[in-house]
Homo-oligomer: A and B are copies of this chain.
Amino acid sequence: MQSDAEKRLIELGIELPAPPVPLGAYVEAVQTGNLLFLSGTLPAVGRNIAYRGRIGGEVNQDEGRAAARQAALNALSIAKEHLGSLNRITRVVRLGVMLATSGDFVELPKVADGASELFQDVFGAERISVRLVYGVASLPLNLPVELEVILEVA
């Protein structure tokens, strides 16, 4: 069943950023059958980077949550550009949250919820995804978060 995501975006007062531009020889979205695979999304809006560094280091837990949310908005922007309307998304299948962490930071799930809760708000609790969360050694542009997203579309 299609979602009410476009209406929810308006209700939530969310304006999507422009979709990110690939940093190499790839595209931002590939659809195969009913699955839409997205490229890894980062917490940057164009050249505007609010959060740089590691969570538990230069970036604190709340900033990490905000960065995860921003990366999730980029994912929605890519999906909308590809699909025309986010209402065509019937399920968020999988969300992977890769976090550049520092030292002994272990509250990874709380940071990841910055992305998960946005998707829940936009698509509804009945369309939430499975989730993978882990700390990585480094991310492109020294950013603190990268998301992996697989969507089911009508």
Contacts and interface: CB of A to CB of B under 8 A. Distances in A.
Interface in A12-65: 22-30, 32-35, 37-40
B135 A135 contact: no
A139 interface: yes
| Interface-central residue, A98, A128, A138, by most chain B CB under 10 Å | A138
A129 interface: yes
Contact of A129 (B30, B110, B139, B140): B30
Interface of A: 22-30, 32-35, 37-40, 91, 93-95, 98-101, 104-106, 108-110, 112-113, 116-117, 119-120, 128-142, 146, 148, 150, 152
27 contacts: A24-B109, A24-B116, A25-B116, A25-B128, A26-B95, A26-B131, A27-B129, A30-B91, A32-B34, A32-B93, A37-B93, A37-B94, A37-B150, A38-B130, A39-B131, A39-B132, A101-B137, A106-B142, A108-B138, A108-B139, A132-B148, A133-B140, A133-B146, A134-B138, A135-B136, A135-B139, A137-B137
